[in-house]
Amino acid sequence: MTSVLPGGLAGRTAEWFRAQARDLPWRRAGTTPWGVLVSEFMLQQTPVARVEPVWLRWMEEWPTPSALAAASRADVLRAWGKLGYPRRAMRLHAAAEAIAADHGDRVPSDVAVLESLPGIGSYTARAVAAFGYGLRAPVVDTNVRRVVARAVHGAGDAGPARTRADLADVDALLPPEDAEAAVVSAALMELGAVVCTARAPRCPLCPVESDCAWVAAGRPEYTGPRRPVQGFAGTDRQVRGKLLDVLRAADAPVDKPLLDAVWADGPQRDRCLDSLLVDGLAEQTPDGRFVLGGTAPHAGH
């Protein structure tokens, strides 16, 4: 396809990226594949601005998988802070343990091996291969799906995920050589994050506006099915967040009445607390109080 030539969509997006990519900490020279992996976990559904300071502190404290593996769950969850979805922190911890124990403390570069690790799915595995190791691996995230939907297919937005087809679409855009393909992958994501945004895309700033199928079609509005917007107020997610917030802030085991104070609905509150125990995000001490995570220095696997 001509789109992989330097003048094509991929080539000009890469050129634009090299000229003005954001200076993000995990993109700086010297970042290890482990650093990339940590950033990808944190960036799953959490904006860049909130990840930056946490990533910097995290890498200072735990510069290798084995360093993180040696930390306690409570320390890991506290360092995760309020990035949200704290189960990601536990999965990162578990992935670090597996990497330390089974992979010589070296982050795997093979996509299939990466996907076998806790918390690493199709996106994160390919992001680590591409950004951590400079390999040719189609990276499909929400940004890339939107860019492809518009620039290639002329649609206003990406519809529901079509995993195989999405992967094939992006694969067709990548040049054959590893290093250049990795740059294109980063560039497509950056374009979606900065220019080809979900609402109010900045087409005048776009390096490929002249051959964007969506622009050519007159920027038609997206008419397909919308992913339902998740509510938050009143959900178990909110209640779990409030409970966890108390446990994170405490430096000693917490009595139940203190947790009871965060939510009026008793049955929902108890159900949520129980789910935190099941998830390993909280633990009950022998005397019936509650603490963050587990007390064991290592979360077993």
Active site residues per annotation = 40
Residue number with CB closer to DNA (23 or 287) = 23
Q: What is the C-alpha end-to-end distance of the chain, expressed in Å?
A: 46
Residue number with CB closer to DNA (118 or 154) = 118
Residue type at 279 in one-letter notation: D
Beta bridge partners of 162: none
CA angle, 297 as apex, 36 and 280 as ends, to 5°?
75
CB of 244 to DNA, least distance (A): 5
Q: How many residues are recorded in the chain?
A: 301
Residue number with CB closer to DNA (45 or 223) = 45
Name the site residues for DNA (rule: CB under 7 A).
Answer: 24, 26-27, 39-40, 43-50, 82-88, 91, 118-125, 127, 141-143, 160, 163, 189-190, 192-193, 197-200, 226, 228-230, 232, 235-238, 240-242, 244-245, 275, 281
Residue number with CB closer to DNA (69 or 117) = 117
Contacts with 165 (C-beta within 8 Å, 6 or more apart), sequence order: none
Residue number with CB closer to DNA (210 or 230) = 230
Residue number with CB closer to DNA (5 or 168) = 168
- Assigned token pair, 123: 């996106």
Question: 230 exposed, middle or buried (CB, 10 Å; 0-12, 13-18, 19+)?
Answer: exposed
CB of 143 to DNA, least distance (A): 5
CB of 194 to DNA, least distance (A): 8
Of the candidates 35, 44, 150, the one whose C-alpha atom is nearest the C-alpha of residue 91 is: 44
Question: Max alpha carbon distance in the chain (Å)?
Answer: 68
Cα torsion angle, 214, 217, 219, 222, sign: negative
Are 90 and 281 contacting, i.e. CB atoms less than 8 angstroms apart?
yes
DSSP of 147-189, one letter per residue?
HIIIIIT--SS--S--HHHHHHHHHHHS-SSHHHHHHHHHHHH
Going through the chain in order, the beta strands assigned E by DSSP cover 282-284, 290-292
CB of 220 to DNA, least distance (A): 16
CB of 90 to DNA, least distance (A): 10
